[in-house]
């Protein structure tokens, strides 16, 4: 059992203003794995004041000083790497291999890239007689989700630290263990007091207090579009910057000339990864109607080859995060069937032999049209919908017919034709032929998938203000 009942404020572990705890449930066992304290607006105020005080000095540190700090954090992270992977498996049910090779790995990747970007980033530029200066925006409020917990923490905290901001983090109360380890890592690395602060709690209490606080200069939120709207509303009266990385319903267009076996199998695996709990998962697969039966057969084989089980068993899929999420997924699967979709693989209920734990069958729904609920709403589980199209133009039209625009995918063997389709898709990131992630590429969405960008050098701009100093240089005679 993990008891994490203190908050990290101004460089110290402190008791909450009011003692109220919450059990953290291991989704594989449905048993309590630990407890955290639930914060209040008073705890947020203490943390924001600490961050505001620390900003005066930390914002004036040199690039070399901040680079040295990131280097020390990386060293400490490597020492706790196995602990981080184990915590993620316990808190949100990721298979052991996924926690080790992807979940925990993404934390250190963002730290390293922030360090690399920092060493060559131009914070000043002279244009004629005017100096253009990029300065840290100030105190940042971070609200992060449970599905890729340390990834979402690192891709916000690392660039904010790199440019000279101070911050308060509210991690997901459902999966908070990795955030505590992250905080211990930063403390061990010598992050100055008040620069980084941690307050646990729920969105309506701590999240709202953080996003509405007048001394918070920007708030960065990752989560559902519904919750992102609330963050923006809470932030509006203080006119702070709002960065959002929200939901997705990403199209995956399999062009007629694609290698169907490879492209469809990769598409199924992309949805099933992390039990379908990825905002950029390629959950709407579009295939030519003329080859629909072939596509469904390949998808069925790939889904049925996806093993589900205890995170320590070697299975590809663990549980989903909670009973609430399991119920939502089941409701949407049933809704799809009611609206005319066919169950190609998986379907409602738990996999055989997995009555305990929030396990979902790897599911493929075929003969879906883009007006069905399962094609419109983000399911956030291991559920793939397959839609048919007659022409490539129709495929692009269907792909873009969504309120979201986080990611899109396209597969084909003709490079020019594939690139042309990619250029027409309205999404912040388009993946051609299922290539691996590029951590230096900007990550973020169009439309209701949010605004702003994370990852790589684009992340730095989210935490910087631009100042123009006129008359900085004398005019030439």
What is the spatial distance between Cα 393 and Cα 4, in angstroms, rounded to a whole number? 53
What tokens appear for 80 in the block? 């706790």
Torsion angle, CA of 436/93/208/58, rounded to 10 degrees? -60
Q: Which of 90, 279, 378, 462 is catalytic?
A: 279
Choice among 76, 91, 245, 454 that is catalytic: 245
DSSP string, 86-108: HHHHHHH---HHHIIIIIHHHHH
> Starting at the edge strand that comes first in sequence, how are the strands of the sheet with 130-136 ordered?
124-127, 130-136, 464-469
Q: Under 8 Å CB-to-CB from 143, ≥6 apart: which residues?
A: 170, 203, 207, 210, 211, 219, 220, 221, 222, 223, 231
At a CB cut-off of 8 Å and minimum separation 6, what does 166 contact? 51, 52, 54, 55, 58, 59, 138, 139, 140, 194, 195, 196
Instruction: Say how many CA atoms lie within 13 Å of 20 toward its Cβ.
Output: 12
Q: In sequence order, what are the beta bridge partners of 130?
A: 127
279 in active site: yes
Q: Is 470 left (phi over 0), alpha (psi -120 to 50) or beta?
A: beta
Paired with 410 in beta bridges are 253, 432
- Which positions are annotated as active-site residues? 245, 279
């Amino acid at each position: 059992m993990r008891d994490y009942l203190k908050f990290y404020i101004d460089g110290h572990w402190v008791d909450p203003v009011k003692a109220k705890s919450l059990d953290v449930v291991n989704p594989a066992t449905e048993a309590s794995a630990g407890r955290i304290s639930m914060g209040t607006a008073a705890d947020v105020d203490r943390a924001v004041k600490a961050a505001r005080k620390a900003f005066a000095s930390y914002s004036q540190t040199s690039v070399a000083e901040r680079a040295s700090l990131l280097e020390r954090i990386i060293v400490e992270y490597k020492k706790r790497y196995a602990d981080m992977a184990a915590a993620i498996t316990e808190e949100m049910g990721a298979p052991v291999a996924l926690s080790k090779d992807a979940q925990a790995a993404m934390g250190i990747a963002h730290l390293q890239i922030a360090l690399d970007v920092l060493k060559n980033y131009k914070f000043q530029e002279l244009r004629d007689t005017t100096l253009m200066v990029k300065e840290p925006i100030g105190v940042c409020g971070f609200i992060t989700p449970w599905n890729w917990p340390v990834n979402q923490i690192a891709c916000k905290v690392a660039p904010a630290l790199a440019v000279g901001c101070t911050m308060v983090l509210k991690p997901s109360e459902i999966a908070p263990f990795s955030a505590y380890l992250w905080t211990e890592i930063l403390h061990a690395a010598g992050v100055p007091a008040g620069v980084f602060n941690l307050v646990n709690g729920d969105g309506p209490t701590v999240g709202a207090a953080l996003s509405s606080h007048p001394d918070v200069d920007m708030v960065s939120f990752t989560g559902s579009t519904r919750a992102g709207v609330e963050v923006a509303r809470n932030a509006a009266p203080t006119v702070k910057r709002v960065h959002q990385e929200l939901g997705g319903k990403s199209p995956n267009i399999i062009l007629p000339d694609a290698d169907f076996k490879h492209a469809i199998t990769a598409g199924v695996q992309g949805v099933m990864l992390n039990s379908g709990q990825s905002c950029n998962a390629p959950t709407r697969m579009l295939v030519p109607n003329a080859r629909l039966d072939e596509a469904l057969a390949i998808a069925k084989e790939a889904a049925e080859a996806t093993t589900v089980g205890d995170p320590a068993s070697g299975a590809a899929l663990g549980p989903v995060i909670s009973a609430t999420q399991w119920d939502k997924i089941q409701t949407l699967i049933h809704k799809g069937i009611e609206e005319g979709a066919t169950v190609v693989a998986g379907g409602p209920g738990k996999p055989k032999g997995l009555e305990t734990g929030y396990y979902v069958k790897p599911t493929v729904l075929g003969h879906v049209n883009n007006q069905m609920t399962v094609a419109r709403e983000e399911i956030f589980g291991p559920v793939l919908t397959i839609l048919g199209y007659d022409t490539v133009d129709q495929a692009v039209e269907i792909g873009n017919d969504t309120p979201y625009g986080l990611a899109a995918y396209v597969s084909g063997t003709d490079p020019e034709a594939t690139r042309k389709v990619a250029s027409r898709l309205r999404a912040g990131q388009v993946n051609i032929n299922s290539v691996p992630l590029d951590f230096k590429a900007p990550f973020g969405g169009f439309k209701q998938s949010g605004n702003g960008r994370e990852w790589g050098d684009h992340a730095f701009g989210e935490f910087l203000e631009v100042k123009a100093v006129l008359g900085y240089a004398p005019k030439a005679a």
